[in-house]
Structure 1
Amino acid sequence: MSLHNVPIFDAEVLLECQNNLGEGILWDSKTQLLHWVDIFNSQLHSYDPKEKTYSIDKYLNSKCLTYITPKLNDENFLGTFEGNLIELPKPTKPFEFIENSNSNLINKKIKINQKNYLKIISEPLNKELVLNETIRFNDGGVDPIGRVFFGSMGQNEKVPKFPGELWQIDLDGKETKILDEVGVSNGLGFSSDGKKMYYIDSRKDQIDIFDYDLLTGKPTNRRKFASSPPPLDKENPTEGVYDGLCLDGIGNIWVARWRNGRVIGFNSNGDIIAMITVKGSKGATIPCFGGPNLETMYIATASSYLGGEGDSEKYPNSGDLYSIGFGPDSPIRKVLGDNWKGAERYRAGI
């Protein structure tokens, strides 16, 4: 007997990049490139799915690069190191040809480009807590007019105290603390009309929703949007926590389930509409939509923090990049309907 009637689809490995902690994935429609970070290697990865070329930029000034977003008015990016929001130069254009996109890149001599950040934009965290590794920045998001949200986390997730914070920087550079007592600040996104903000603190294993005032940038009326999901099947119980998220063009929310090897799709009412597996990987971290028509979902994963003994053998593709088509003839499109469309993340306006 089935545990649920939610349709399940399988994403496929696109690149065997074996990231330690792949995160922050996004599509840049201006360049038609995919970008993501490998947090603890302080790397920005770029991939051109049309040309099948690849590049890696490594930032020398930080122990980690946790989040990236393209800027609205130029080719640079914003990002977060462990303790600050910084401006990064334009990512290196992918140039390493990957003949077979699913070949193992660990065995290839991919050139790593050494880079430095351009400037520090904000340093709102307690510097002592950053230096002693109590806290660091993690994920972020951008609202429809370009305000940037960037959140921190407690590095020891076993302690009861929640030392993280969620910060916002406005278009005029004004910094505002939006939340404190955050465990692990993670996925954040906005409805297309800008009236709702979705947010995940992974220590709470739920998705929250706020009313959002686009004029002032103030979220209010926080409440639970979704609880932990049902098991995938009898062999795959519900484990892990919610991680990164993205929204499509009709208001559905797609959320990675960390340490549970799947992405879960919700409609705006909070009902689960589909689940996408990343077989061979336990650490799904964050999805995004991309491709020429925004009809491909890309999913970053991690090889770190797998958990139980033998997990590395059981999940050999943890850390790889996955994709699944949402085109008109795809199986998942038959569930979502003819009017479905993808959406790109918003760009930073600061």
Structure 2
Amino acid sequence: LYDAQDRLNEIDPTYAENIKNHVDRIARLDLFHVSANTDPKGDRSKLFEGKAAGTLLHVVEENDKGIVVRGAKFETAAAYAHQAFVKPTISNWTDQSMTPYACGFIADMGAPGLKHICRTPLSTGKNPVDYPLSTRFDEIDTLLVFDDVLIPWENVLFHGNLESAQYIRKTVHRYSAFNYVLRLQRRADFLLGTALLNVEQTGLTKIPAVQEKISQLICYRETINAHLTAAVANAQKSAGGLMMPNQSLLYTGRLYALTNFPKMAHLCRELVGGQLAVTPDSATIADPQIKEYIDQYYTLDGGWTPEKRTKLLYFARDLLNSAYGGHQITFELFAQAPPFAQYMAAFNHFDLNTVREMVTKAAHLETDAKAELAMQK
């Protein structure tokens, strides 16, 4: 929205000022600021009709203090955040009947009437030794229910304007995509490191077929890194004068990282091996009656004790096969937009004119006027 200040000023000068104030406030007060996008999905063919219309976040009243909103949004980390930027994500803002739903604002997470309904943590009932990722890095997702919540005017960033809602939809990826691609690079690091340690402990790293598979994981990791690095090195200036990652490189990098992740995860499973699925849990291994057998069958050369080996297998299982592993893949796939919207972002930000002109020139596909002139000459 900071990039749209000039346009917002044409609608209402107070909106752009509110945006500046909130950007400054976050920087000075070090607020934990999150972003509420996703709506509870009902009958999508009747988004603004009947019951579905009542669940979508919308303005029900406007008074001298601000706007009153009703409806719901999903937000990760809302339960322990200070505030959220709440905004619409529906794609087709064309009908004036949609105006009450076209609002964007800053919501204080402790506002009266705002209810937080959290999903169950993925760590519930799990041992931190057996599930080192689930019990340490789960981000709690929350259904935010706005039960006639008052949003003060100073927190309203736009209201009752379809053009602003359209703008948000088009630019929601502009900066946030970088964070998601960076997360996927870290997951690529985990896949590569997990696979490498497992083949090293079993002495398989000198086998050409294993080296080939490790190389595929390296290429996956480095291609993501190349897109991120290039997106920064070739940064572009936004309409508001901010530096943003190169949009084409960022979006194509995101699609590459997401579409290839399942293949790379399965490759990691293959290199870790079948023990990923059959190794007993830490409580069983610690049993005095069982320990001697574990010492016998899980001890390897190179300092790989049963404790180290099982810890690595538990990490791999949590990364690849647990509820946490599946949750992360789904979250990263849909956190910003469904795949078709991500492809549209890549399509709309690649300079097609360059390749079009190159082939037109190379294939001598000049316009009829040029061809006729050439023949006359």
TM exceeding 0.5: no
Between the two structures, name the one with larger relative contact order (CA 8 Å, sep ≥ 6): 1
From the two aligned structures, give the one with the greater strand fraction. Answer: 1
For the pair shown, the structure with the greater C-alpha radius of gyration is 2
TM normalised by structure 2 equals 0.23
TM-score (norm 1): 0.24
More helix by share: 2
